[in-house]
Amino acid sequence: MGTQQHEYPYAFHIALDGNGLNGLEGRAGVCVFRYDPATGRYAYKIEYYDGVAGGHAVSVSPDHALGLLGNTGQHLLFYDAATLDEADRLSTLRIEPTDSSIKGTTHIARLGDRDIVGAIGEHLWRFDIDKPGRPERLGPHGLKLPHAMKTTASGRYLVYGGMDHPGRGEAREVGIFDLHTGEATASTYRPPAGTWPSIPAKTGSTPSPSASCPRKDMTGTNGPWPTSRNTSSRSTPNTDRSCATGRPPVRPRHTSTRTSASPIAN
């Protein structure tokens, strides 16, 4: 008699790289970690992909069928979200060359169920995941090295952070691309270090008093942290004195905020 396979309601897809801490070198793979909070049971599977380097971030399609592993190996790599088997691969060098080995398509944003957008070279490109070999060039992104990206709630704007470029210097900039007009606004925000964007869940909300002092619930690359587990009305005091005094915050010694887990429901 065969053992019935356990069904897990949650699956976390995690990008895997090499043995360094920067997420920009070494191998490229995916770990899917399945979890059942009701029973505490879990299972995981790991798959590495030959010929690709610097696994950095993952994105899973809305139907939970296809994943994309962002990397610095100048590839778009699609995989089966259930089995982790490679589904398709496309070299981005055939689309547009790049001026740095770490300037790869590490992140993408989704424009719908089948359309994605990512940075290749000096431009933003739109892809139909069913026809990845026929991309559409949207326009220049305007940054030295684009990194994480998100669309606003209205779907009109694409907002993306920047990383330091090994040859062109520090990033300290954010890009905003109008998907309706095809125009980019870059370097409008000068943070003390490289940035990963954080987009509010709703448009029209009251902006924070200072771009250097974001709301505490807007940290990370996946938007607001959930508040359902903490119903207390007690607020956490703001300990960043630069927000109260108006002085620019001190640049931290370590600014890595890598977030690569993306929960989905089976």
> Which H or E element spans position 242?
helix 241-245
Q: How far apart, in whole angstroms, are the C-alpha atoms of residue 70 and residue 117?
A: 12
From 31, 26, 79, 76, select the one nearest 55 (Cα to Cα): 26
Q: Residue 64: name the closest of 13, 107, 102 by CA.
A: 13
The predicted structure's pLDDT at residue 124: 96
Distance CA 126, CA 198 (A): 21
- Look at residue 19 in the predicted model and tell me its pLDDT: 75
Give the up-direction half-sphere exposure of residue 199: CA atoms within 13 A in the CB hemisphere. 22
128 has which bridge partners?
A: 115, 131
Q: How many residues does the chain have?
A: 266
Q: So what's the pLDDT on residue 177?
A: 95
pLDDT of residue 220: 34
| CB contact set of 4 (below 8 Å; sequence gap of 6+) | none
pLDDT along the chain (266 residues), means of 10: 74 88 78 96 96 93 94 94 96 93 92 94 95 93 91 94 85 89 72 58 41 33 34 37 38 37 38
Sign of the dihedral through C-alpha 58, 162, 188, 98: negative
DSSP string, 131-166: EEEEEEEEEE--SSSEEEEEE-TTSSEEEEEE--BT
Amino acid at position 36, single letter: D
What's the whole-model pTM score?
0.69
3-state class (DSSP) for residue 11: strand
Q: Give kind and range of the element (H or E) at residue 244.
A: helix 241-245
**Could you tell me where the beta strands, DSSP code E, fall in the chain?**
10-16, 27-35, 42-53, 55-60, 66-71, 75-80, 86-91, 108-110, 115-120, 123-128, 131-140, 146-151, 157-162, 175-178, 183-186, 262-265
22 CB burial (10 A radius; 0-12, 13-18, 19+)? middle
Distance CA 182, CA 204 (A): 22
